[in-house]
Amino acid sequence: MIQTQQAAQRSQLPADTQKVRLYAPSQYLNSIVSIPQRCSLWGDARYRGNCDGTLFKELVHQYKPRSIADPMRGSGTTADVVAGMRELGLYDGSY
């Protein structure tokens, strides 16, 4: 029920606010990464070995890198996250 209420609240927010919240830091980056819900905007979950872009988003917020290299490009999850963060002015390094 709480998730339903949260979803209803999110749908009432302006699209820009939803997007800013999507790219904001969260509490999930700890010693063990467990992300209960995947974000469908980043990468392709059907791609073997793909992880949710929330991990990459959190790493960028945590370590504030000047550049990002993605040797396992695969479905483009990291590129999708970086593009979204750049669009909101949250990352200005190189990729």
Sorted by where each begins, the domain ranges of the chain are 25-95
What's the pLDDT tens digit per position in 34-57? 777 888 889 888 887 778 899 899
CA 76 to chain centroid: 12
| Residue 76 φ/ψ region, left for φ over 0, alpha for ψ in the -120 to 50 degree band, beta for the rest | left
Is residue 60's pLDDT more than 90?
yes
Selection from 66, 67, 35 nearest residue 51 by Cα = 35
Question: Is the CB of residue 66 less than 8 Å from the CB of residue 94?
Answer: yes
| Residue 90 φ/ψ region, left for φ over 0, alpha for ψ in the -120 to 50 degree band, beta for the rest | alpha
What's the pLDDT tens digit per position in 73-89? 888 999 999 999 999 99
- CA 43/CA 76 separation, integer angstroms: 5
